[in-house]
Amino acid sequence: MKKNVIIEKQSAVTNNKVPLLFQPISIRGVELPNRVVVAPMCQYHSDDGEPTDWQIMHLGRLAAGGAGLVFGEETAVERRGRKTYACAGLYKKKHVKAYLRLTNLIREQGAVPAIQLGHAGRKASCHTATESWRPLIDQDSQTGYPPWQGLAPSALNQLPRHFLPKEMDRDDIKTVIEAFRVATHRSLDAGYDVIEIHGAHGYLIHQFLSPVSNHRKDSYGGDLAGRMRFALEVAEVVRSACPDRPVFYRISAVDGEGGIWSLPDSISLSQELKSRHIDLIDVSSGGISGGSTMPPVPRIPGYQVGFCERIKRDADVMTIAVGGITKAQQAEDILRASKADLIALARELLWNADWPVHAAHELGIKDPFFMIPNEYAFRLRQREEQKTIPINQGGDKTNAAMRFLLGDNHSSNLIKLKNT
């Protein structure tokens, strides 16, 4: 049963003030019931790109917890654009029906379904995360998982892969951009209300952006404008294919240890994306390493919020803060300080899928159970009501009842209970 997800009256919370985290927000006509986002998390449980029962369990669990916007996982626009054989994809028309099952489930729980479209590029052809993404080798062919050649802006031997990646020619670039267009249309057909372009974490688009991985001499390489060209062309085609709904872009604000792509570069890219009507920048970091003096990003609480704040301010664009955000007040403070417009969580939701409803309780919402399915909420409200009954308060009445029920001094307890 679909739950009521929008706070109708400010009296629902103490001090007559709704926390920003739980105020609705409208982006290009799509209203999110609150500002908690389930970040994309690869699951490695797909069958030739198609989601399985695992995704039903995974996303159903997260959608029932009260988040306003629920992303699935990074979804490849080409079969060769997957990292692993178990990665999600939307490169076949038949995939649409399977994803429609997911979006219906998410929407039934009162959340907005979102998809992240990407291409692994040179990260392709490896095992899954639980095997540390070790590269596929010839012996894997014996179990039905032969290695394949990935694509890249430059054919560089920088990742442990069986094949050197193929340097993309103009036809390859056109083919991948067209794949993003087709996957965008399929995403809409599958019921997604928000589409995000994955331009971070060392995936293909990020590979074009960073001088570490892009050594091209043509108009898709060289200076910042050249290295941004592929990202912007992808953004243009996705925006054109999805004119009426929100399009986000996930960015790595900095490359990572030894990288070159920097925060000022990300601000410039975000400004260009905004000019192409991209609605929001989802600010992450890392994914490409090199030999420079750039340090790794310290994994401290809210470790990417500073990047997010700078991009929001300097590019004048909406942003999502993600990374090391685990506390309700921490999330609320980020929003109140205008450092971000939405708050995304990933691992914390794996630990506690009901984080949003617990956060609502911590921030003073009197009846946070409206955020979860009514089948759960009515039982939890009953439990809260039971706490107010005198016999459940402890003290003489509670003790007398328990002594009676346990058979201690039966007759005297009966008399005492009658006289109270």
Q: What is the DSSP letter of 304?
A: T
Please give the backbone phi and psi of residue 28, each rounded to the nearest 5 degrees, phi first. 45, 45
C-beta separation of 352 from 358 below 8 A: yes
Query: Cα 53 from chain centroid?
Result: 19
- Pick from 236, 229, 124: nearest CA to 173: 229
C-beta separation of 252 from 310 below 8 A: no
203 is a catalytic site residue: yes
Dig out the tokens for 217 from the structure: 């001499």
State how far the Cα of 12 lies from the Cα of 19, in Å rounded to an integer. Answer: 11
C-beta separation of 44 from 89 below 8 A: no
C-beta separation of 110 from 65 below 8 A: no
**From 44, 91, 192, 203, active-site residue:** 203
Helices (H) and strands (E) in the chain, counts: 13, 13
Helix (H) or strand (E) holding 71: strand 69-76
State how far the Cα of 340 lies from the Cα of 338, in Å rounded to an integer. Answer: 5
State how far the Cα of 288 lies from the Cα of 212, in Å rounded to an integer. Answer: 8
List, by residue number, the catalytic residues: 203
